[in-house]
Amino acid sequence: MSFKPLLTAFCIVLLLFSCNEDSNTTFSIITVTTDNNKLVEINIPKAEGNNEISKNINNEINKVVSASLHIGEETPNAEASIEENIEKFNTEYNDFAKDFPESTFPWEAQIDGEVIFQSPELISISITSYTNTGGAHGNVVISFLNLDALTGKRIANEELFNNEKDFETIAKTYFDKSIEDKNTLFEPENFQLAQNIGFSEEGLIMLYNTYEIAPYSAGIIEYTIPAEEVNSLLAINSPH
């Protein structure tokens, strides 16, 4: 697999950070459910068309949604559909309710997705999942999907940059500016890149979900690095 740097900072601003209408892939928002579903609500983007690009995009979205509905410690079934996972979520709750009839708190899952950035070369999708299986509080997880617009395949974080070390230096600068009290972090002296990196019209979104680097009380930690700061460090996945 090869990678090529994006042309120049000026070109990237026009190309990567461009209007959604520049990309050929179109999306609609669909609601996914089943006949027996009472607990799960899902509203996610769907890439239109039967071409390979749309199939790949929808497959990547389905993987994230299905993983969000997974309960238990066993490895999720990567081949299971969203509908199958909805049914399993409801079945797990019904079994739980039988075993613990004194528990009156119903489970719930709400999953919403949106296309947050789109260009001829890159599509970035945000999927927010809220699940509550009877604990003290529900759990919110935001996942970013960065997809090659020419193939529909997911781009790993390490493939986004042609110099990850230099990017980490810039990211740490903006991270330090965004954290008012580092004592709230698990390891205040150790910086780590966010596992969730997304694109927007303003730049790169760096997002840490709850418990990733700080306790629940800190909530989701998020900051944006302006596009002009990272343009020269970006790379794209070559389709050949």
Domain range annotation of the chain: 3-237
CA angle 40, 138, 89 (to 5 degrees): 30
Considering only CA atoms, which of 97, 113, 95 is closest in space to residue 41?
113
pLDDT digits (tens, 9 = 90+) for 160-202: 999 899 999 999 999 999 988 887 888 888 899 999 999 999 9
What mean pLDDT comes out for the span 23-28?
87
CB atoms within 10 A of CB 129: 21
Instruction: Place 12 in a pLDDT band, splitting at 50, 70 and 90.
Output: very low
Instruction: Place 35 in a pLDDT band, splitting at 50, 70 and 90.
Output: very high
Which position has the higher pLDDT, 6 or 121?
121
Distance of alpha carbon 230 from alpha carbon 143, whole angstroms = 21
Instruction: Place 14 in a pLDDT band, splitting at 50, 70 and 90.
Output: very low
Given this model, what pLDDT does residue 118 score? 95
Average pLDDT, whole number, for the chain?
86
Given this model, what pLDDT does residue 23 score? 53
Q: Is 178 helix (H, G, I), strand (E, B) or coil?
A: helix
Tokens of 9: 């900072």
Query: What torsion do the CA atoms of 28, 34, 37, 42 make, to the nearest 10 degrees?
Result: -20
State residue 58 phi and psi, 5-degree precision. -65, -35
Look at the alpha carbons of 109, 115, 121, 122 in this order and tell me if their dihedral is positive or negative.
negative
- 3-237: in CATH 3.30.565.40: yes
Residue 204 has pLDDT above 60, yes or no: yes
Look at the alpha carbons of 25, 167, 175, 196 in this order and tell me if their dihedral is positive or negative.
positive
CA angle 100, 128, 76 (to 5 degrees): 55
Residue 46 has pLDDT above 70, yes or no: yes
pTM here is 0.85
Tokens of 109: 């899952």
Residue 8 has pLDDT above 70, yes or no: no
C-alpha distance from residue 217 to each of 85, 145, 206, 209 (Å) = 30, 26, 19, 12
Helix axes 82-99, 52-69, angle to 10 degrees: 10
By residue count, the chain amounts to 240
